[in-house]
Amino acid sequence: MIKSIIKGSGSYLPEKVLTNHDIAKMVDTSHEWIFERTGITQRHIASDNQFTSDLAYEAALKAIESSGIHANELDLILLATSTPDQVFPSTAVKVQHMIGAKESAAFDLHAVCSGFVYGLTTANAFIKTGEYKKILVIGAETYSRIINWKDRSTCILFGDGAGAFILEAAESTDDNLSAGILKTRIKSDGQYADKLYCNGSSSSNDEDDRYIQMNGREVYKHAVEKQTSIVNSVLLSSGLTIDKIDWFVPHQANLRILDATAKKLNFPKEKIIITVGEHANTSSASIPIAMDCAIKDGKIKRGDVIMLVSFGSGFTWGATILRY
């Protein structure tokens, strides 16, 4: 059978750092309040002349370099983002041009914070057709542009960044022992679309309603419940049990959601990759950034079994089990 193996990864965070103390000078909040409720201490913010494509480009370059393949060999580029540079063309085609991937197709994929798991699931399906051999999947966001910096309930939560994986088709055995994506599943439920949304500069907005709007408690409740259920369902379909997972790489929304999900799953905290403290919530970029950091730190090693799990606006959610 054909499996999608992770050939390389890369991530990029903009240079500018905004700490909780910096935010406390902008709105009525404190480092202590933010840290206690979310585990976040700081976030990275794109400079005025940096767009989502620029962040994606930096992460893609590193992924390409670590994979040892040439950009011209790519068949497809999938860019998960909810903060594209423009309404059109897609940010993916801009990145395609920047990296010089002349032979590939490229498109954006929009599933907000679940975008990267949606991207991996889509890329995996393309690879399993046998037609596509090398796919670049990127999660890249500039949430600093869609945050109302006067709204203390949301501006404390997000940051900018990008992460990328290169997937490659490999002839493999139909079991959980060889490297590659073992099982992946995505879901959504649009009845909750009004719990977390951003009208942005779309045709339906008015000037006062351009930025992120969130019902934090509802998001919290559904994030824990839906991430737990999809992890259990993907485990069941893979035939693996939770004790076989070496590392859990969840969407980095906030530490309390992460802790509560792990507790419900009875999963040990020391096996969770946590970067939310330093990066805050970078939406579709959070999982590839967290995983790339853990690879570079030497925590995640070849052969390890990894569970990725995400939850975001929509609501959308998903989980992927892979052997690195």
Residues that bind ligand ACO (CB under 6 A): 29, 33-34, 37-38, 113, 152-153, 156-157, 196, 214, 216-217, 219-220, 223, 253-254, 256-257, 281, 311-312
Cβ atoms within 10 Å of 168's Cβ, excluding its own: 19
Q: How far is the CB of 280 from ligand ACO (least distance, A)?
A: 9
Q: Which residues does residue 17 pair with via DSSP β-bridges, in sequence order?
A: 44
**Which residue's entry shows tokens 């309930």?**
153
Which C-beta is closer to ligand ACO: that of 74 or that of 307? 307
Q: How far is the CB of 2 from ligand ACO (least distance, A)?
A: 32
Nearest CA-CA partner of 144 in 18, 293, 12: 18
Which C-beta is closer to ligand ACO: that of 110 or that of 296? 110
Q: How far is the CB of 33 from ligand ACO (least distance, A)?
A: 4
Which C-beta is closer to ligand ACO: that of 96 or that of 313? 313
Rounded CA separation 269/273 (Å): 9
Question: Which sign does the torsion angle of CA 272, 278, 280, 284 carry?
Answer: negative
Which C-beta is closer to ligand ACO: that of 210 or that of 256? 256
Which C-beta is closer to ligand ACO: that of 136 or that of 157? 157
Nearest CA-CA partner of 223 in 317, 119, 120, 288: 317
Q: How far is the CB of 220 from ligand ACO (least distance, A)?
A: 4
Rounded CA separation 276/289 (Å): 10
- Both tokens assigned to 4: 């999608």
Q: How far is the CB of 111 from ligand ACO (least distance, A)?
A: 12
Judge whether 137 and 111 are in contact, CB under 8 Å.
no
Judge whether 47 and 165 are in contact, CB under 8 Å.
no
Catalytically active residues, by annotation: 113, 251, 281
